[in-house]
Structure 1
């Protein structure tokens, strides 16, 4: 008999999560906007999903606090709660503050999305952050490594966000600008331009909530943005003067 796993949020990433965990867990998913489980999970009410031994939060960072308040009364005393948000400092603080004391908490950030993970996730990367207890973080990391064959990085929420401010923040920012410039040439392109547009396509269909989380909820993102814009202005000045 498979263990039950509650999945709060059944959007694009929630479905990707269910696709790769359904072999090992009976997944009970809750999402008011979902009407089709695609055979990956059983759609249910919030209380039932939150009462599972393990609960995965696949909701936008901007609604995480409201979700934590809603699931709190239904969690088992020793439940394991895992979030999959794009930033880690803000969710870690919220989960620690709002979830009952006995609940175990691990923060994760799969460094891929529905587009980059559509052909399989083996070999892709995930960050695992200790929030309450190193043992649970190690167990989640081991599961990701052995069962999902992911490359695991165990880091603090602060170290994660510091690196993600550049890795994700700049990627999404540049992609947003290039999409605003469309239509772009598609005929006489170079290999480097094609690679650049491939990167754009990998985040093109990310929800606006993902962009907001990466750019607004990461405490290090503003500094990276300002440095990028300052250097871009320098480069523009250099072009004009030459």
Structure 2
């Protein structure tokens, strides 16, 4: 149940792309959402009101829905307008770097928490209840626990309260491999759609969930996560070993002649 407009605190939303709009839609029952994004235009049914950067930054709660590569510049831009005691959160796909940037660039009189909703517009198209979110303390555990409680009770999300380091270690595998494999499969299109197996269809469902993610999301997951390179190296090393095993097996088979019972050129078992 949403609060009456007069009782809703203001929430500044910096960044109003696809994920920013998703954020506004699900937070508007509890907050009056004021969004800033130079590239955004107002649309019918918007859950947020577009405003200037200073006004959005002056809200008691500010969410940063900007690419990780632009976070430092955004933090410097909003710092002069932040209220004392304001809560600043980011929603980026990596947490170690953003946590460090928020600690360095934001004034000591604000509270900061890192969050990573483990879903996007595609996976959340039927609602967010039951989906997952990581909440990472940046300046103390108390405010992070309050954010976690709101996500759990108000938004009905499954919450993981973890350190930025633990988040990035797991995300390097969970997101890093998913996006890497999906990017390769997208480059191989068109792929079969007729005689498919259930396992192949599930792989393609994962591909569809990230198909329309911006290039900035892929760069953040693969470049900004300090643990992603190690996961990629291990994946490519194991893939190379699997390829070598197959090549060695093919070479051994060729040197020993055709297997017993194999088909000849006529389609009959070879004699």
Q: Do they fold alike, i.e. is TM over 0.5? A: yes
- The corresponding residue for 2:154 is 147
Alpha-carbon distance between aligned partners in 2 of 1:105 and 1:141, rounded to the nearest angstrom: 13
- The corresponding residue for 2:19 is 13
Alpha-carbon distance between aligned partners in 2 of 1:133 and 1:5, rounded to the nearest angstrom: 21
**Equivalent runs, 1:79-118 vs 2, <5 Å:** 79-118=86-125
C-alpha RMSD of the superposition:
0.6
**Equivalent runs, 1:155-194 vs 2, <5 Å:** 155-194=162-201
**Equivalent runs, 1:219-234 vs 2, <5 Å:** 219-234=226-241
User: What runs of 5+ residues in structure 1 fail to find an aligned partner?
Assistant: none
**Equivalent runs, 1:49-60 vs 2, <5 Å:** 49-60=56-67
Alpha-carbon distance between aligned partners in 1 of 2:39 and 2:146, rounded to the nearest angstrom: 32
Cα deviation for residue 240 of structure 1 reads 1.2
Cα deviation for residue 39 of structure 1 reads 2.2
Matched, 1:43 2:50: yes
Specify the SS of the correspondent of 2:138. Answer: strand
Matched, 1:33 2:39: yes
- The corresponding residue for 2:262 is none
Tell me how many residue pairs correspond in the alignment.
Answer: 242
Bigger radius of gyration among the two: 2
- The corresponding residue for 1:239 is 246
Alpha-carbon distance between aligned partners in 2 of 1:110 and 1:75, rounded to the nearest angstrom: 24
- The corresponding residue for 1:24 is 30
Report the TM-score when normalising by structure 2: 0.89
- The corresponding residue for 2:133 is 126
The runs of 4+ residues in structure 1 deviating greater than 2 Å are none
